[in-house]
Chain A
Amino acid sequence: MLPLRSVCGGIWRAAVHTVRTSRGAPPYRLLSSTCDGAPAALADADTIFALSSGHGRCGVAVVRVSGPASATALRCMAGFTQRLPPPRTALLRSITDPRSTEVLDRGLVLWFPAPRSFSGEDSVEFHIHGGPAVITAVLQALGSVPGLRPAEAGEFTRRAFQAGKLGLTEVEGLGDLIHAETEAQRRQALRQMSGELGRLYQDWSDRLKRCLAHVEAFIDFSEDELIEDGVLNRVDVSVRDLQAEIERHLKDERRGERLRGGVQVVIAGATNAGKSSLLNKLCQRPAAIVSPIAGTTRDVVETALDLGGFPVLLSDTAGLRDSSDLVEREGVRRALERVEQADLTLVVVDSAHLPSEVDRAAAFLREHLSSVLPDTGRCLLVLNKADLLPEKQRQKLDMELRGVSGLPAVCLISCQTNEGLKDFLTVLHSSVKTLCGDPLFGAPTLTQARHRAHLQRCAAALAQYQRYRDTDLALAAEGVRVAVTSLGRITGRVGAEEILDIIFKDFCIGK
């Protein structure tokens, strides 16, 4: 165990210890906040939770909780009021929302006291039914338990490593997994931040940063400077407004725009490659207008699909080319934005444009891919209009392009004759299946729960500002700092330098 050089904890621990030993009975008030089980030194700052099983259509979903408040979660959500269940034993319980005591689901719960758990901390697993409604409800209920927050990418793994539960060889493979998790979360966040909700959060974040900068300026400079008390009064108003707005937002059952679920598959490529035809083929209806005129599709056309049991949101985009047409240029911008947010991109190429030699064709495709995609890791290459190629060249391409390094999976199809479509569907299905197997992948419910948790923390922290405003500005500022950090977990990290930049922009500081 690592030494704890806590800042003033030493005194307090010692004081508590003395009281306990000198008075006989322990003072219950002091101990009520600590949880049984985890040794204090191992306890991390927060207790975290996440959906650990894949999403999409599955019978059972597993939600994992890790950290010192795991026992609290178990107590208040699985009805263990007296004592905790025996360790590592599955029990069938009603899982309830601690706020409303409404029953959310019936499922298995398991209690893993530290150190014998995956993360080495106190852990709980909820095995619940796999429907999105149940999962959302349970995640949100967990978010309302004090001390719990949704896990960041890779957090379970890091805790397990720190507790000595993972060997170095195990960690090696996990790096890649977490890379995928992070990417999925980033894309999910991008999707949401580009909408109305994103603008709302960004506005809150900007206003909060300004509040913080002004409080900090008042603390760090006002006595020798010309920073007048009026600054604080304006902050008061701002903080009050923000708190009210965030609380109203949390209460709003409509939650603004609906979050889109499913694997985001985007069709992209040059004009007239047959992207819209591919969309129509996949959804088996004429969802998009097709014509031989290049640049027919100008906006993003979205269709929800069920692909072998997995939810897919398929988008057709405008063909990529330099255009002087304002509307088309906007269409291209949207197309590129959508590609950036996609989980999987289908890059459609007109086979007739391919050079006939395989080597040159591969080079052509590589260059084309890099002009369309930020990275080639998550795409399929679709060579359309195969019917226009001579039979011999078609076979050669089909055989030889598969083995070329630096290219993703290649499918040779014809939307006209349906040739190769079946094979293509198999490849697409398996890609989507892999993506859905990742527990953190594109699950809007989880993102929603994360947002809620951070917003709740943000609103509570703003209340602290009000409480200490007149007695201790350092503690009041602490409230705004926590609020900024909480919101920053949604909109992006905020550093001290950024706050100082605002200070120097707004005030003339002379010392």
Chain B
Amino acid sequence: MPEVRERRTVSSWQEGTSNSNNYSLQSRYTEEHLSVGITWTLKADGLQQHKTTPGVTLVRNRKLRSSSPKLGDWINVGWPDDAILRWCASHMLRKKLPFLHSLLSPVSRHVGHLAGHQYDVIVVGGGHAGTEAAAAAARVGAETLLITQKIHTIGALSCNPSLGGVGKGQLVKEVDALDGLCGRAGDWAGIHFSILNRRKGPAVWGPRAQLDRQRYRDFIQSELLSTPRLTVLEGSVEELLVTEPNPEEPGHHRVTGIRLANGSHAISARSVVLTTGTFLSGSLFVGQTTSPGGRIGDAPSSPGLSHTLRERLGLRTGRLRTGTPPRIVKDSVDLSLAKLHLPDSHPTPFSFLNTHTHCKPEEQLPCYLTFTTPGVERVVRESLQLNCHIQQDTKGPRYCPSIESRVLRFPGRSHQVWLEPEGVTSDLLYPQGLSMTMPPDIQLRLIREIPPMRRAEIHTPGYGVQYDFVCPTQLSPALQVKSTQGLFLAGQINGTTGYEEAAAQGLWAGANAARWALSMPTVTLSRTESYIGVLIDDLVSRGVTEPYRMFTSRAEFRTSLRPDNADLRLTPKGFEEVGCVSSVRYQESLRVRNSLQDALTALQALFLSTSSWKKKLPSVPISETKSTLLTGLDLLQYNDVTFEMLASAFPESLSSYMEFAQRLKIEAVYKPHCDLNKKEIERIQREENMSLPQDIDYFSLPVSLSDEVREILDRVRPSTLGAATRLEGITPAAVVNLLNYVRVTEKKKETHRNQRHQEAQRDEELCANSASLPQ
């Protein structure tokens, strides 16, 4: 039996006192093949490892929960059969990842132990959607199993080494507000931070970072492995296990687990989240050759899974394509011929929990900008017949086109190419904008037409991918397949593109899969309160015709859904209604909310005449024609007034809120517009609270609806009256007729009083401290 000895109290974790830096863990572990004894001592400046034997530390999570450790206790956790990795100190592991990898592989391949085991949630896939899904499910309180083909590629950035941007940055902030991983991972791995759209108004600021691929992967892996209730398993899923539905719920099937390839192991679970990315019937294209697969270097996923989805569950699927550029050897590029592009001098972290990024400002790396030449267009045209990916008419993303489609659609122009660093120690560059699928020798000819790359070498050629997606109108707003109880889908399988879109769906699908498994009602996010809600609503009520990407222009209430207020919008809901937010983060969000409230009250309380304001702030042009009194809040709405100016004029009432200076300025400027939005938002939310049963037979409803309307309703099966109203072709009369069938669901704020959740919270608190960045 392995043993983990812990010399710290639970409370010292929670409070994060200096005690928490003195940490030691000891385990002894004997099993047929392994023998491990490790003693670690963690000091404030990092890890000191006294003695190791290659092997693994196993922890049985349930044990940890049932016997709460007390000061000085030695606790026994885990046993070999379970192959569950429990990493109590994520800091420690982050510093020691090479060691971690050597531990992981032998254990996680012990699949045999899992046979017959019952999980609450199984997540298939370890990309951006899968990792968020698994982590969210575990945070909600479900025993979760993450199955991925290679543990080493968990958290890999398959395409561009960057996170965030306009629209996408909003998603990252929201995922973070719901306690997801990608925001904190970005802060840890970022090596070039900038806020896009800085001059265009805070509602459309786009926080973005270039990432170090290795650091990003390390963070995600150590984070997952230190998440309680989460098991990681290396393997390939052969099929979904499906059975008769639970008659009390809508749906024609019910999922009961999965079966692994290369063996007959069935692992049962109450819900399954599929995040297979581009692997569902994926094929790779380079030049004229195609091969099955979803990413170069990885085995194709088994055909059994897509067979189950299509044949057994009868899901409609479509086909999309995407591509990635070649990676260039950095030393072979003459960067002096490209335009230097520097990051922000003060990097802004993504996460609401972080005050600074891991990368120091001066350690950030630059990007470079260069342009295509007529030679590039010539190479593309000459090689068209050698390029079968580009000749196919499968829909690709219009906003991230391959260089082939760019020059063919807009000929005779010079197109931008960004040369981006792949990491601090990486000797590769990522040429953003040069996604291509021609044969490798022609790829080399093409890039050498661009001046800085005259003598460039290609490390890995670019390639195209075509893959199946499941038409997302078959999903509920909880991302559950409507016809199949317990089956959830997230990421590219739903027809989206992009890391951030995948992470957002993963988090939401994972949280709902856990809630379903634990017999709690699923939850939805409104498009009036978040970009995640916009994303999911667009997917499930409109479907996709090309890979879906987030833009700020998709959000009707863009001025209210700002990156700066994602925590106010989502963290309380995430804690109170969903259960996917740790109490540490929740407490922090309450502190922020209360402070902002107090500061606004203080600003409102400053009632002065225009002449008094002029005396206080002589540099501000205040029109004296208005005889009314102005509050501090009114003043803050002026272009050239900052909170800092007001705080120095009224230090006694305002100086304690300096921490929030920027947020207060934004709140003040946007207030009149948010007020205008608010009523419309309330109207939409009321309609979204009127849910439509999923089992209505729209063709036999005894009301006067045209066949066309019935057909639309039957195809889309809107979940709420609000969704029905937004459908193209739905008349007001149809909406009124539907009123007959709505169920008004008061959205209750559920606080989870059951024991399971309380235990979960305690575990979360244990982890929350260890999971945040070292400050």
CB-CB under 8 A from A5, the residues of chain B are: 526, 529, 573, 685, 747
Closest 7 CB pairs of A and B: A474-B201, A472-B201, A179-B733, A474-B203, A508-B410, A473-B200, A175-B737
A475 at the interface (CB under 8 A from B): yes
Interface residues of B in 675-731 (CB under 8 A from A): 675, 677-683, 685-686, 689, 703-704, 728, 731
Question: How far apart sit A33 and B678, CA to CA, in the bound complex (Å)?
Answer: 14
B652-682 to A contact mask, C-beta < 8 Å, 1/0: 0000000000000001011101110111111
Q: List 25 A-B contacts (CB under 8 A).
A: A4-B682, A7-B565, A7-B677, A9-B675, A10-B568, A11-B593, A12-B600, A15-B597, A16-B604, A19-B605, A27-B604, A29-B628, A30-B604, A45-B682, A154-B736, A158-B735, A175-B733, A178-B732, A181-B733, A219-B166, A220-B166, A475-B203, A496-B554, A497-B542, A508-B410
Question: How far apart sit A3 and B409, CA to CA, in the bound complex (Å)?
Answer: 49
B400 at the interface (CB under 8 A from A): yes
B190-204 to A contact mask, C-beta < 8 Å, 1/0: 000000110111111
A2 at the interface (CB under 8 A from B): yes
Interface residues of B in 429-444 (CB under 8 A from A): 432-433
CB-CB under 8 A from B604, the residues of chain A are: 15-16, 19, 27, 30
B732 touches A152 (CB 8 A): yes
A223 at the interface (CB under 8 A from B): yes
Given known contacts A7-B569, A19-B605, A510-B401, is B415 in contact with A154 (CB within 8 Å)?
no
Q: Give the number of residues in A that approach B within 8 Å (Cβ atoms).
A: 73
CB-CB under 8 A from A80, the residues of chain B are: none
CB-CB under 8 A from B20, the residues of chain A are: none
A18 touches B703 (CB 8 A): no
A509 touches B669 (CB 8 A): no
Question: Taking CB as reference atom, which chain B residue is nearest A504?
Answer: B398
Q: Give the number of residues in B that approach A within 8 Å (Cβ atoms).
A: 85
A174 touches B736 (CB 8 A): yes
A476-511 to B contact mask, C-beta < 8 Å, 1/0: 111000000000000000011101100010001111
Q: Which of A179, A218, A478 interacts with B673 by CB under 8 Å?
A: A478
B391 at the interface (CB under 8 A from A): no
Beyond A18-B597, A475-B670, A510-B415, 7 additional pairs, beta carbon < 8 A: A7-B528, A18-B601, A23-B605, A27-B631, A178-B733, A224-B432, A225-B416
B60 at the interface (CB under 8 A from A): no
CB-CB under 8 A from A327, the residues of chain B are: none
A161 at the interface (CB under 8 A from B): yes
Interface residues of B in 592-612 (CB under 8 A from A): 593, 596-597, 600-601, 604-605, 607
The smallest beta-carbon distance between A98 and chain B, in angstroms, is 22
Interface residues of A in 283-336 (CB under 8 A from B): none
Question: How far apart sit A511 and B669, CA to CA, in the bound complex (Å)?
Answer: 31
B749 touches A3 (CB 8 A): yes
Given known contacts A168-B740, A509-B398, is B605 in contact with A2 (CB within 8 Å)?
no
Interface residues of B in 101-145 (CB under 8 A from A): none
The smallest beta-carbon distance between A162 and chain B, in angstroms, is 6
B755 at the interface (CB under 8 A from A): no
Residue ranges of B at the interface with A (Cβ–Cβ < 8 Å): 165-167, 196-197, 199-204, 206, 398-401, 406, 409-410, 413, 415-416, 418, 432-433, 526, 528-529, 542, 551-554, 557-561, 565, 568-569, 573, 593, 596-597, 600-601, 604-605, 607, 628-629, 631, 639, 667, 669-671, 673-675, 677-683, 685-686, 689, 703-704, 728, 731-733, 735-737, 739-740, 746-747, 749
CB-CB under 8 A from A477, the residues of chain B are: 558
CB-CB under 8 A from B203, the residues of chain A are: 472, 474-475
Residue ranges of A at the interface with B (Cβ–Cβ < 8 Å): 2-12, 14-16, 18-19, 22-23, 27, 29-30, 33, 41, 43-46, 152-155, 157-158, 161-162, 168, 171-172, 174-176, 178-179, 181-182, 216, 218-221, 223-226, 468, 471-478, 495-497, 499-500, 504, 508-511
B553 touches A216 (CB 8 A): yes
The smallest beta-carbon distance between B540 and chain A, in angstroms, is 15
Question: Taking CB as reference atom, which chain A residue is nearest B688?
Answer: A2
A2 touches B733 (CB 8 A): no
Q: Which of B432, B565, B639, B731 interacts with A471 by CB under 8 Å?
A: B639
Question: Taking CB as reference atom, which chain A residue is nearest B689?
Answer: A2
The smallest beta-carbon distance between A489 and chain B, in angstroms, is 13
A11 touches B568 (CB 8 A): yes
A216 touches B551 (CB 8 A): yes
**Residue of B200, B597, B675, B749 with highest tally of chain A CB at under 10 A:** B200
A7 touches B196 (CB 8 A): no
